[in-house]
Amino acid sequence: MKQRFLTVLLLLPAVIGLQAKDFTVAYVDLQYILKNLPQYESAQEQLNLIAKRWQKEVTDLEQEARVLTANYQTEQIFLSETMRKQREQEIIDKEKQAQDLKRKYFGQDGELNKKREALLKPIQDEIYTAIQEIAMQKGYQAVKDRSAEPSLIYMSNKLDISDQVLNKLGAK
């Protein structure tokens, strides 16, 4: 065990040196690119409008359930057993309806995620294609997203191709 560790430790500088010579990396800042693409801003605005409209629908149903509950609590002592059960069921149904609608719109496989995918995937594909073309032209073996790289302490600006990607996409 000790011998294997020692062997790996001795070979590590050689492997790192080999990778550094033969492996060229460029970086992009996807947050910067997205922020500077008008079509991304437009898609985000559309998503926000849709989300607000759907949230209002859910909120209205929740409000209806609260009103039913408040009315029920006020009138409860005057209602027959049958009427109480009927009103309780109405409240339960309204709350369930609100939860179902919330899940339909905002759940993991909800309409908002599907809409986001439909609006943003073409933009993401376009960015990926531009990055790939620049990487192939410049001979980069890898391109990393620096906005998603928490361990990146320093990077030379020469390696950042974000502006080249924006130019390729026709953004200013």
What is the pLDDT, as a whole number, of residue 55?
98
Q: What is the mean pLDDT of residues 113-123?
A: 95
What is the pLDDT, as a whole number, of residue 149?
67
**What pTM was computed for the model?**
0.69
Q: What is the mean pLDDT of residues 48-61?
A: 97
> Averaging pLDDT over each range in 21-30, 94-103, 155-164, which range is the top one?
94-103
What tokens does 127 get?
């960015």
* CA atoms of 65 and 58, how far apart (whole Å): 11
Other Cβ atoms within 10 Å of 95 Cβ, number: 17
Average per-residue pLDDT in the chain? 85
Q: What is the mean pLDDT of residues 120-126?
A: 94
What is the pLDDT, as a whole number, of residue 126?
94
